[in-house]
Amino acid sequence: MRSFLLLILSCMYQSISSFVISPCLIPAIRIHTAQYSSWDDFADLGDDDLLDDEYASENDSKEYKAAIGSKFEAPDLEWQGDPISVLPGTSLPLTEENIQGLLQACRQEIETVFGYSAENRGVGITGGVDFVELDGPSVVLRLKGRFWHERSTVLTRVANYLQQRCPEIVDVTVDDEWQLSDEANRAE
């Protein structure tokens, strides 16, 4: 340590006395050669299936999108109960029925994320969300269909909705991690 300090002081003295920066204060310069790839191995990824002509454009009228979307089936609803529409900050107890009702209200409130309306299905959004089970303070859901948003974003939005109304929920997950993949979005 002492020899290191002496080296630093000696370099500083040399630079002050001669008004030039001593080479010992300049870090070594490494030159890297950039290597660029060519487009020779470029191939179509085949992931343009959401852009097929069978769907409407997001800029089309609501009526046209709904007409196109009516050709596609809405995601199945496994629970037919009434929505529980409450404000964020409400403290509902953690029960299966409350989660099902909140999830039903969530489908309506952030409806543009899901394919429950013909208009959304008309532009290729066919995704849905179902309750699977309560695992202690964790809610387990299932995502199905196609979403425009990343599936992890959809899950985060649903989780946020549920947790703001039922603070006992510690975590919201899916029953199979594959459901959060891009592959799952293309497969359905």
Give me the mean pLDDT over the 170-185 stretch: 94
pLDDT category at 8 given cuts 50, 70, 90 is low
Helix 96-109 to helix 151-165 angle, to the nearest 10 degrees?
120
pLDDT, tens only, 91-149: 999 999 999 999 999 999 999 999 999 999 999 999 999 999 999 999 999 999 999 99
The 10 Å Cβ neighbour count of residue 65 is: 24
Only one residue has tokens 């660029």, namely: 36
Residue 162 is inside which H or E element, if any? Answer: helix 151-165
When computed from its CA atoms, the radius of gyration of the chain, rounded to whole angstroms, is: 28
Please say whether the beta carbons of 183 and 110 come within 8 A.
no
pTM: 0.68
Q: Residue 141 pairs with which residues in a beta bridge?
A: 131, 174
Distance CA(56)–CA(68), nearest Å, equals 7
Give me the mean pLDDT over the 83-87 stretch: 93
Distance CA(21)–CA(19), nearest Å, equals 7
Distance CA(129)–CA(106), nearest Å, equals 10
Angle, CA 146 vertex, CA 186 and CA 185 arms, to 5°: 35
pLDDT, tens only, 9-22: 555 545 444 444 44
Residue 183 confidence (pLDDT): 92
